[in-house]
């Protein structure tokens, strides 16, 4: 049986969560060229790791398609909130575009996965 698109996206999100915990500086480096200011975003990235791991685990282990979909919608909401909160922080050239590209693309992929799984049912 082929895994659902939502499970695939949730596994990818879990991968990002691990990356955020192992290399938290990625966020600050995307937002600013200033090394001192980059360090300030390490805490945010360290918060993303457990948060994203928790939501992706909920989606992966959901007892039903409806529960998985709810976790996926939570993921979309978090991505949109990240876009709203982090885009204004972008100081490096192209930083706002990077943040919006990553967050809005991820939200869109999750919505696409939800819709594809609905269609497959």
Task: Reply yes or no on whether the pLDDT at 44 is more than 90.
Answer: yes
Give me the pLDDT at residue 87, please.
Answer: 93
Cβ neighbours around 108 below 10 Å, total = 12
Of the candidates 91, 102, 81, which has an alpha carbon nearest to the alpha carbon of residue 13?
A: 102
**Among 1-10, 38-47, 76-85, which is the least confidently predicted range?**
1-10
Task: Reply yes or no on whether the pLDDT at 3 is more than 80.
Answer: no
pTM of the complete model: 0.91
Six-digit token string for 66 = 């409806």
Give me the pLDDT at residue 59, please.
Answer: 96
């Amino acid at each position: 049986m082929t895994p659902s698109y939502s499970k695939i996206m949730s596994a990818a999100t879990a991968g990002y969560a691990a990356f955020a915990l192992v290399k938290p500086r990625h966020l600050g480096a995307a937002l600013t060229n200033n090394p001192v200011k980059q360090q300030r975003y390490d805490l945010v990235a360290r918060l993303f790791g457990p948060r994203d791991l928790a939501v992706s685990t909920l989606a992966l282990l959901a007892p039903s398609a409806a529960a998985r979909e709810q976790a996926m919608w939570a993921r979309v909401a978090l991505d949109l909130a990240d876009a709203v909160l982090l885009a204004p922080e972008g100081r490096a050239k192209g930083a706002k575009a990077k943040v919006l590209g990553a967050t809005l693309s991820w939200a869109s992929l999750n919505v696409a996965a939800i819709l594809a799984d609905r269609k497959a049912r």
